[in-house]
Structure 1
Amino acid sequence: MWSVEHSVDTAAAPAEVWAFYADTSSWSAWNTAVAEVSLDGPFRAGATGTLTPPGAGPLPLRIVEAEPERGYVSETAIADTVSLRTTCRLAPAPRGGTRITHRVELVGPAAPHFAQSFGPVLAAGVPRTVEALAARAGHPARRAVIVLTSHDTLGDTGRSTGAYLSEVAEAWQVFDDAGLRVELVSVRGGRPPLEAVNEQDPVQRQFLADARMAEQLAATPSTAEVSAHDCAILFVAGGHGAVWDLPYDKELAALVRDVHEAGGVVASVCHGPAALLEVTLSDGTPLLRGRQVTGFSNDEERAVGMTTIVPFSLADALAARGARYASAGAFLPHVVTDGRLVTGQNPASATAVARAAIDAL
């Protein structure tokens, strides 16, 4: 019998975790395999209904066992010959709180064959589901991660580039004022390159003078070293360097996916939306498909003389990935919010994007 099991400890009491199980409308926020659950009554043993995975039709669902504050067992009929049996148990954690354990099994005569194709997806999804549930039950995510490019040269021009400092500083100010713990990360780690540094600007000056931010800027972790755990907002800053490295960073794409699927907000501004171009969700759906977004426009690219220097048009690339791209007048603030995906057109939009991300939590 094919199975996968994962356990995570949370500071939440069993009753707090159980509340997420019993409220099936919350499942889609912490279980990446669920778009909707509908039951014929309260969450109890014997209840039946349907479970609808993202991008698929409803599947028959039955609650086999349900013991408040202890756990439940459910069965989802994938086909006549194979079902998904999910066992969720709650137990006291050694250091207090609750240990959440989820075990998923494939049962039925076709289970071995089904596992060959879909086992790896399930094996990857179960840990993410348990960790997302533990985070939501234990405490609201209170971390904002700002991503910076590591690319420092404008093509073969010899001119320098990097992350646009005003976007980083303004996002930091909004998040810090909101009580979020701000962390900086870059594609390759180390000290990231910066552009448009203006120490006469009060927000930039305050950011650069902040001891914690100065320490982080000196040695940022790479995207490969950062976890989505407890990340309320992932904010991707722009700067022209972004179009040279963000789309090709597989670790960043995974981080964007994990934050989004754990219920966090993904925000980006100016050239920052380049980080979204190659993001695919766990169900195989491109993150951008059908989503309303904005980003640095073709008019703006022409106005700054970069059309023939950048490796591609960000606006065109977003549209080519199935996004519903729209822009406002050149260099005017413009923000687009589509659920927990927030994008801004240009540096003038950075503060508004950060505030919209807070609102989207």
Structure 2
Amino acid sequence: MAPKILFVLTSHNKLGSLDKPTGWYLPELAHPYHVLSKKAEITVASPKGGEAPLDPASVEAAKDDVSVNFHKNNEAVWKNTQKLESFVGKAGDFDAIFYVGGHGPMFDLVDNPTSQQLIREFWEAGKVVSAVCHGPAVFYDAKLSDGSLLVAGKEVTAFTNTEEEQVGLTKAVPFLPEDALQKASGGKFVKAAEPWGEKVVVSGRLITGQNPASATGVGEAIAKALGV
């Protein structure tokens, strides 16, 4: 039987105090979906359900075939998401959870109690827990039942301070994923040698990717972890 994966998208569409649209980042859904949809059954959720906002800047930036084709042919994937809260208590029905990046998650998923409960339930049920780019920021304060931090002592990656600086959004986000995860993991944050380089980190069942270039690799690492 094909494994089941819960993909989580943001419902947030405005960039902090800036009057700029945001949301989830196209290649960070398109590439993992491309890798995994042939091998697994994918369910897509967001905090509000319904249409999850796609960051228009990511449509402009992502000209690769996989992203372009996904954008053109798979609208239903992000326009009909289910409510995140409807999956509480259902980790047993899935094999993995995956958080898509973009700046949106920084505002409605990082401190979301439902999201944190799902992360805890999936992890404690022995499932794969994964994210890419700004997605891993949702793990910085995720606590297990014993009160310990999920990422404590585990190697982890995410969008870096330098990358945030280069896109000019350091002040637009509530915190920097690299700083938060470096602290929560106890100094185990790792990154590619150069900004925007591919970096996928597998720490047992915790899989994280640094940036859009890492999205395919994260999909492949999830597939490998699920044995498909």
- How big is each residue's C-alpha offset from its partner over 1:203-235, in whole Å with a ceiling of 9 and x where there is no partner? 12332454xx53342221121012323211211
Across the aligned residues of Structure 1 and Structure 2, the Cα RMSD in angstroms comes to: 1.7
Unpaired runs of 5+ residues, structure 2, are: none
Is 1:235 aligned with 2:95?
A: no
- Residue 327 of structure 1 deviates from its aligned partner by 1.2
Structure 2: how far apart are the matches of 1:216 and 1:352? 21
SS of the residue corresponding to residue 355 of structure 1 reads helix
Is 1:277 aligned with 2:140?
A: yes
Alignment correspondent of 2:51: 191
- Residue 151 of structure 1 deviates from its aligned partner by 1.2
SS of the residue corresponding to residue 234 of structure 1 reads strand
Structure 2: how far apart are the matches of 1:302 and 1:337? 26
Matched residue type, 2:32: A
Structure 2: how far apart are the matches of 1:208 and 1:270? 19
Query: 1:142, 1:230 within 8 Å by CA — same for their partners in 2?
Result: no
Mapping for residues 72-111 of structure 1, pairs under 5 Å: none
Return the structure number with greater strand share. Answer: 1
Is 1:143 aligned with 2:7?
A: no
SS of the residue corresponding to residue 202 of structure 2 reads strand
- Residue 173 of structure 1 deviates from its aligned partner by 0.8
Unpaired runs of 5+ residues, structure 1, are: 1-139
Query: 1:267, 1:354 within 8 Å by CA — same for their partners in 2?
Result: no
Cα 1:339–1:208 change in 2 (3 A) is same
Structure 1: which 4+ aligned runs deviate by more than 6 Å?
none
Alignment correspondent of 1:267: 130
Structure 2: how far apart are the matches of 1:200 and 1:335? 22
Matched residue type, 1:197: V
Is 1:252 aligned with 2:110?
A: no
Cα 1:141–1:287 change in 2 (3 A) is farther
| Greater length-normalized contact order (CA 8 Å, ≥ 6 residues apart) | 2
Identity %, equivalent residues: 40
Matched residue type, 2:210: Q
Residue 343 of structure 1, aligned match among 204, 208, 211: 208
Is 1:155 aligned with 2:16?
A: yes
- Residue 283 of structure 1 deviates from its aligned partner by 2.4
Greater CA radius of gyration, 1 or 2?
Answer: 1
TM-score, structure 2 normalization = 0.90
Query: 2:97, 2:130 within 8 Å by CA — same for their partners in 1?
Result: yes
